[in-house]
């Protein structure tokens, strides 16, 4: 079965030293699944929305799409607010979901993972708020939620790199990859 993974550096990784969950989740799914994932960081929700045009033909061949985006949207680098407003974030996620649902059978959204408290630009209180509004809006669109945030939140020091306070440790990659592979495999089984 063909599936697609889209997402920011939590999926893709960040350079040679920082892995994301995407490759490992594809390995865990095994040979019964053909996984397409861009060799690109999907960044903001709006960037992901734009990318759907470029990758439409290959995504349309997929039965399931699993995506995440959020860290770039809720980042506050200058102390003047998040890059995307709550309204922009939700609007873009809903547009992504509707387009993906027109392409494939199942759309899964992964909540934004927590950060270590030392992160100067991404705050867990903002992540919690953005996750809350994203989940509420996407459930109304029939999107399945993969709560990666809840998976990691109780042991952030184990799952989030102390070197940058945001990306996944090897344990974090493994935990997220297993959660992604499990939810995709479960949905694939339902499709038959």
- Secondary structure (DSSP) of 97-152: HHHHHHH-SEEEEEPPPP--TT-SS--HHHHHHHHHHHHHHHHHTTPEEE-HHHHH
Structural contact between residues 21 and 13, judged by C-beta atoms closer than 8 angstroms: no
- 55 — pLDDT class (breaks 50, 70, 90): very high
Return the closest-CA partner of residue 67 out of 13, 18, 20, 110: 110
pLDDT above 90 for 14: no
pTM: 0.97
What is the mean predicted confidence (pLDDT) over 17-43? 94
CATH architecture of 2-191: 3-Layer(aba) Sandwich (3.40)
- Percent of the residues in the chain that have a pLDDT greater than 70, as a whole number: 100
What is the mean predicted confidence (pLDDT) over 168-180? 97
pLDDT in the model for residue 17: 79
pLDDT in the model for residue 33: 98
What is the mean predicted confidence (pLDDT) over 182-189? 98
pLDDT in the model for residue 192: 86
pLDDT in the model for residue 91: 98
- 16 — pLDDT class (breaks 50, 70, 90): confident
CA 34-166-27 angle, to 5 degrees, is 20
- 124 — pLDDT class (breaks 50, 70, 90): very high
Provide the mean pLDDT of the chain: 97
- Percent of the residues in the chain that have a pLDDT greater than 90, as a whole number: 94
What is the mean predicted confidence (pLDDT) over 156-178? 97
pLDDT in the model for residue 89: 98
3-state secondary structure of 84: coil
Give the distance from CA 188 to its chain's centroid. 18
């Amino acid at each position: 079965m063909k599936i697609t993974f889209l997402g920011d550096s939590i999926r893709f990784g960040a350079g040679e030293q920082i892995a994301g969950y995407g490759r490992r989740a594809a390995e865990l799914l095994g040979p019964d699944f053909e996984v397409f994932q861009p060799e690109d960081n999907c960044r903001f929700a709006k960037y992901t929305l734009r990318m759907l045009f470029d990758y439409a033909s290959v995504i349309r061949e997929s039965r399931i799409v699993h995506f995440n985006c959020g860290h770039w949207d809720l980042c506050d680098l200058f102390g003047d607010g998040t890059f995307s407003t709550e309204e922009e974030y939700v609007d873009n996620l809903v547009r992504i979901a509707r387009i993906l649902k027109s392409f494939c059978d199942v759309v899964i959204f992964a909540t934004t993972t927590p950060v270590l408290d030392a992160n100067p630009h991404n705050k867990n209180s903002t992540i919690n708020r953005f996750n809350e509004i994203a989940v509420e809006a996407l459930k109304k669109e029939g999107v399945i939620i993969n709560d990666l945030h809840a998976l990691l939140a109780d042991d952030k020091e184990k799952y989030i790199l102390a070197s940058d306070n945001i990306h996944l440790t090897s344990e974090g990659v493994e935990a997220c990859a297993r959660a992604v592979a499990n939810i995709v495999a479960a949905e694939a089984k339902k499709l038959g």
